[in-house]
């Protein structure tokens, strides 16, 4: 086994510092008494109170959460279906085209995706608002879900499904009772990934949002252009906390499902 050298330790430390030190500074200055974000004037939580009274940010946050939940849920369903077709359907006419359409948004620049969706909505006469943002976020996030779920389906033991079918289950019952519980960690991971991408999106939402719907990243961007305020730091800290809580919860759920799966396999092995 290779020893963990000082070079590796230094590189790892510098890398983590580059990624997380700015976030730590942002969190610390969100409790700053002064309105100047670069001058520390004492500990205070007043900016969180002012943030809760800012109707513009609250409305944008509600729109963002609504869009993220709806789009990630739809993207998870469609992405799981697409992954199942790609992995289980074998060779069929148009498979290459279908696969290319699934993976194209992964490498497509967001500006191109946003502009093309904008032209589509204008062409069909669909007013821009929450619905268009949901459709846009579903379009690009379902591709990420498909990749995550496909990687799990590839390593899935199909003999379990065959055993369920032999015992009298219909294909739908075999999928619902056997396949879905086993790939559930991947499905949950795909949903969280789609949810995070929707929360973070600025470019595509800027093209597809209308005057009646402004997402939180758009509101933050428009506010930052006039100068960074402590309210932005407080809002960013809350978002970091929400994302961190979601990641920890997903890790605990995945770990519990994995332990349960291992216990079931050990029980089945003893029974056999």
- For the segment 126-163, what is each residue's pLDDT rounded down to a tens digit? 888 889 999 999 998 999 999 889 888 888 777 888 88
- For residue 127, the 8-state DSSP code is P
pLDDT for residue 46? 83
- Its pTM stands at 0.79
Instruction: Please choose, from the candidates 242, 229, 254, 233, the residue with its C-alpha nearest in 3D space to the C-alpha of residue 200.
Output: 242
Residues in Cβ contact with 60 at an 8 Å cutoff, skipping those fewer than 6 apart: 214, 215, 216, 218, 219
Specify the higher pLDDT residue, 164 or 137. Answer: 137
Instruction: Please choose, from the candidates 147, 236, 240, 136, the residue with its C-alpha nearest in 3D space to the C-alpha of residue 193.
Output: 147
In tens, the pLDDT along 173-216 reads: 888 888 888 888 888 888 988 988 898 888 999 899 887 788 88
What residue ranges define each of the domains in the chain, with the CATH number in brackets? 45-271 (1.10.3720.10)
187 token code pair: 């499905």
Mean pLDDT of 227-249: 80
Q: In angstroms, rounded to a whole number, what is the distance separating the alpha carbons of residues 123 and 215?
A: 23
Q: Is residue 86 within a helix (H) or strand (E), and if so which, with residue range?
A: helix 55-88
Q: What number of helices (H) and strands (E) belong to the chain?
A: 12, 0
Specify the higher pLDDT residue, 189 or 92. Answer: 189
Instruction: Please choose, from the candidates 18, 20, 61, the residue with its C-alpha nearest in 3D space to the C-alpha of residue 232.
Output: 61
pLDDT for residue 132? 92
């Amino acid at each position: 086994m290779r020893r963990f050298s000082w070079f590796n330790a230094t590189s790892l430390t510098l890398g983590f510092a580059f990624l997380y030190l700015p976030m730590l500074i942002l969190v610390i200055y969100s409790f700053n008494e002064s309105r100047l974000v670069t001058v520390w004037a004492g500990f205070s939580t007043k900016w969180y109170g002012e943030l809760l009274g800012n109707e513009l940010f609250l409305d944008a946050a509600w729109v963002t959460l609504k869009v993220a939940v709806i789009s990630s849920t739809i993207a998870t369903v469609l992405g799981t279906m697409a992954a199942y077709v790609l992995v289980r359907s074998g060779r069929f006419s148009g498979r290459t085209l279908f696969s290319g359409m699934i993976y194209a948004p992964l490498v497509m620049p967001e500006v191109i995706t946003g502009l093309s969706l904008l032209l589509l909505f204008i062409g069909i006469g669909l007013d821009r608002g929450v619905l268009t943002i949901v459709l846009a976020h579903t379009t690009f996030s379902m591709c990420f879900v498909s990749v995550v779920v496909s990687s799990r389906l590839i390593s899935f033991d199909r003999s379990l499904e065959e055993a369920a079918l032999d015992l009298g289950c219909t294909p739908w019952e075999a999928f619902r009772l056997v396949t879905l519980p086993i790939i559930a960690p991947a499905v949950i991971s795909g949903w969280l990934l789609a949810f995070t991408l929707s929360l973070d999106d600025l470019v595509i939402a800027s093209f597809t949002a209308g005057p009646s719907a402004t997402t939180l990243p758009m509101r933050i961007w428009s506010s930052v252009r006039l100068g960074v305020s402590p309210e932005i730091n407080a809002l960013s800290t809350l978002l970091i906390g929400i994302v961190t809580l979601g990641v920890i919860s997903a890790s605990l759920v995945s770990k519990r499902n994995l332990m349960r799966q291992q216990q079931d396999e050990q029980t089945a092995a003893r029974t056999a």
